[in-house]
Amino acid sequence: MNDERELIELARNGDRSAFRTLVDSHKRQVYYLALDLLGNHHDAEDLSQEVFIKAYRSIAHFRGEAKFGSWLYRITANCCIDRRRKKQLMTLSLDHQENSDALEARSLMSNTTHPEKKMEAQTIQKDIEQALSQLSPRERTVFVLRHYNDLSLKEIGQMLEIADGTVKSLLYRAVRRLQKELAYYRSDLGIGKETN
């Protein structure tokens, strides 16, 4: 019973075990996307649970036109956008601790063993996370999906249910804002060279 389509059909008919199997096969990707978008381990964990609750409640409406993973990415991205909007409304000041968990998670995945290079990589990642926090929720989502998850503009548009032109516009604005925020790194990182 490893066929995902079969699991989806069983889950649509109320089989909780099948849905649990689907969750187990996608939970890491959902968590890491949430972490990239929110920058905080605890928020990413909470949001991942919220995503799977929403998916469970609406799986009967999943038509299978997209991959199940893409459908979960769409739910995750939309939940992240909603959460970031609510967070921005609650406070206008930036919480610098917010991105430390994302920085820590990325540094743990780094294969750099030289202490100086590791420290430099952590500093760069911290600056990137800080710059990303300056983007609007939709800009950050499009940027992360494109550059962290390597999705095409068409895939992002389908996932977020927006036109390709809107994706391009959001990505362009995100890159321009990041270029401004990270101007001192521009030549080293090559940000903004490729937006397709």
Is the CB of residue 10 less than 8 Å from the CB of residue 68?
A: no
Is the CB of residue 178 less than 8 Å from the CB of residue 135?
A: yes
pTM exceeding the 0.95 threshold for the entire prediction: no
Give domain status of residue 122, yes or no: no
Give domain status of residue 54, yes or no: yes
Phi, psi of 103 (to 5 degrees): -60, -45
- CATH number, domain with residue 4: 1.10.1740.10
Give domain status of residue 193, yes or no: no
pLDDT digits (tens, 9 = 90+) for 150-178: 888 988 888 888 899 999 999 999 888 88
Give domain status of residue 83, yes or no: yes
Give domain status of residue 142, yes or no: no
Give domain status of residue 134, yes or no: no
Rounded to 5°, the CA angle 91-170-153 comes to 130
Give domain status of residue 88, yes or no: yes
Q: Can you list the residues of the chain whose pLDDT is less than 50?
A: 1, 91-99, 189, 191-196
Q: Is 37 helix (H, G, I), strand (E, B) or coil?
A: helix
Give the number of domains in the chain: 1
Could you tell me where the beta strands, DSSP code E, fall in 34-191?
A: none
Give domain status of residue 74, yes or no: yes
Residue 6 belongs to what domain range? Answer: 1-94
